[in-house]
Amino acid sequence: MIEYDTQNSLVDILIYIFYFITYGYTVFVMLSYLILGVISVVQARKYLRRNTYTDYLNILQSPEAPSVSILAPAYNEEATIIENIRSLLSVRYPNFEVIVVNDGSRDRSLTKLIEEYQLEPVNFAVNYRIETKKVKNVYKSKNPTYNNLVVVDKENGGKSDALNAALNVSTGDYTLNIDVDCILEEDCLLKLMKPFLEETDQNMIATGGVVRIANNCRVEKGRIIEVNVPNKLLAQFQTLEYLRSFLLGRVAWGSLDGLLLISGALGVFQKELVIKCGGYDKDTIGEDMELTVRMRRYAREKDIDYVVGFVPDPLCWTEVPESWSVLRKQRNRWTRGAVETLLSHKRLFLNPFYGKIGMISYPYWLLFEWLAPLIEAFGIILLVLFSLLGVINISFLYLFIALIYGYTVAFTIATLYIEEITFFQYKKRRQLLRLVVAGLIEPIIFHPFVVYCSVTGNWDYFFEGKKAWGSMKRVGFSKPGSNRGQKITGGKKSNPKSGPMPSNSVRTRPAT
Amino acid sequence: MRQFIIDIYYFLLALEPRYKIVIFMVIVLLILAAIMISVVLRERSRKNSVEARERRIKRQVEPIIQEVVFTDLEASDFKDAVKKINRIVDSTLYRKSNMGILNELLIYYHRNLGGEAFERLENLYREIGLKQMALEYLRNGEWHIRAKAINDLSTMRMGETLFEILQYTDADNVHVRNEAQYAAVKLGGKKAMSFLNDLESPMSEWQQIRLLDQSRKFEYELIDNIGPWLQSKNDTVVIFALILMRHLNQYHERSQLRKLLYHRNERVQEKAIETTQELAYSEALENLYEVFELTKTVRVRARVLRAMGELGGPKEAGFLREVLVSNREYDLVMEAAKALKRMGRHDVLNSYRENELSEKGENIVKHVLDDRI
Q: Give the Å distances, CA to CA, from B45 to A281, A379, B35, B42.
A: 50, 44, 15, 5
For A179-193, write each residue's pLDDT tens digit: 888 889 999 999 999
* Residue with more model confidence, A14 or B230: B230
Q: How confident is the model at residue A5 (pLDDT cuts 50, 70, 90)?
A: low
What's the whole-number mean pLDDT along residues B183-210? 90
Q: How confident is the model at residue A489 (pLDDT cuts 50, 70, 90)?
A: low
CA–CA min distance A64, chain B (Å): 7
Q: How confident is the model at residue B356 (pLDDT cuts 50, 70, 90)?
A: low
What's the whole-number mean pLDDT along residues A456-480? 65
Contact B148 A52 (CB under 8 A): yes
| Predicted pLDDT of residue A381 | 87
CA–CA min distance A451, chain B (Å): 23
What's the whole-number mean pLDDT along residues B35-62? 90
What's the whole-number mean pLDDT along residues B157-171? 90
For B167-189, write each residue's pLDDT tens digit: 998 888 999 999 999 999 999 88
Specify the range with the lowest mean pLDDT, choosing from A370-384, B180-194, B343-357: B343-357
Q: How confident is the model at residue A7 (pLDDT cuts 50, 70, 90)?
A: low
Instruction: Please report, rounded to a whole number, the percentage of residues in chain A having pLDDT higher than 90.
Output: 58
Mutate to test the interface with A, among B26, B277, B364 (most CBs of A within 10 A): B26
Which 197-256 residues of chain B touch chain A by CB within 8 A?
202-210, 212-213, 236, 243, 247
| Predicted pLDDT of residue A21 | 82
For B234-268, write each residue's pLDDT tens digit: 999 999 999 999 998 888 888 899 999 999 999 99
User: CB–CB of B138/B150 below 8 Å?
Assistant: yes
Q: What is the spatial distance between Cα B274 and Cα A43, in angstroms, rounded to a whole number?
A: 38
- Give the amino acid at B261: L
**Which residues of chain B have a CB within 8 Å of the CB of A194?**
206
Contact B36 A414 (CB under 8 A): yes
Q: How confident is the model at residue A327 (pLDDT cuts 50, 70, 90)?
A: very high
Specify the range with the lowest mean pLDDT, choosing from A88-97, A267-276, B18-27: B18-27
| Predicted pLDDT of residue A290 | 93
| Predicted pLDDT of residue B357 | 63
CA–CA min distance B317, chain A (Å): 22
Q: What is the spatial distance between Cα B254 and Cα B270, in angstroms, rounded to a whole number?
A: 16
Instruction: List the single residue in B with minimal CA-CA distance to A404.
Output: B26
**Which residues of chain B have a CB within 8 Å of the CB of A432?**
40-41, 44
What's the whole-number mean pLDDT along residues A28-37? 89
| Predicted pLDDT of residue A168 | 95
* Residue with more model confidence, A319 or A221: A319
For B73-121, write each residue's pLDDT tens digit: 788 888 888 888 888 888 777 888 889 999 999 998 888 877 778 888 8
Of A52, A58, A402, the CB nearest to B209: A58
| Predicted pLDDT of residue A486 | 59
Q: How confident is the model at residue A51 (pLDDT cuts 50, 70, 90)?
A: confident
Q: What is the spatial distance between Cα A417 and Cα A405, in angstroms, rounded to a whole number?
A: 18
What's the whole-number mean pLDDT along residues A461-480? 58
Q: What is the spatial distance between Cα A382 and Cα A384, in angstroms, rounded to a whole number?
A: 5
| Predicted pLDDT of residue B93 | 76
For B288-301, write each residue's pLDDT tens digit: 999 999 998 999 99
Q: What is the spatial distance between Cα A21 and Cα A28, in angstroms, rounded to a whole number?
A: 10
Q: What is the spatial distance between Cα A340 and Cα B102, in angstroms, rounded to a whole number?
A: 56
Q: What is the spatial distance between Cα A481 and Cα A478, in angstroms, rounded to a whole number?
A: 9
- Cβ of B268: how many Cβ atoms within 10 Å? 20
Contact B247 A62 (CB under 8 A): no
Q: How confident is the model at residue A299 (pLDDT cuts 50, 70, 90)?
A: very high
CA B168 from centroid of its chain's CA atoms? 17
Q: Is the CB of A311 inside 8 Å of chain B's CB atoms?
A: no
For A63-81, write each residue's pLDDT tens digit: 999 999 999 999 998 888 8
Q: What is the spatial distance between Cα B277 and Cα B283, in angstroms, rounded to a whole number?
A: 11
DSSP sequence for A245-309 = IIIIIIHHHHHTT------TTEEEEEHHHHHHTTSS-TT-S-HHHHHHHHHHHHHHHTT--EEEE
User: CB–CB of B242/B214 below 8 Å?
Assistant: no
**Whether pLDDT at A472 is above 70:** no
Q: Where do the domains of chain B lie?
A: 1-43
User: CB–CB of A407/A30 below 8 Å?
Assistant: yes
The structure's pTM equals: 0.87
**Which residues of chain A have a CB within 8 Å of the CB of B41?**
429, 432
What 3-state DSSP class applies to A505?
coil
Of A53, A396, A406, the CB nearest to B30: A406
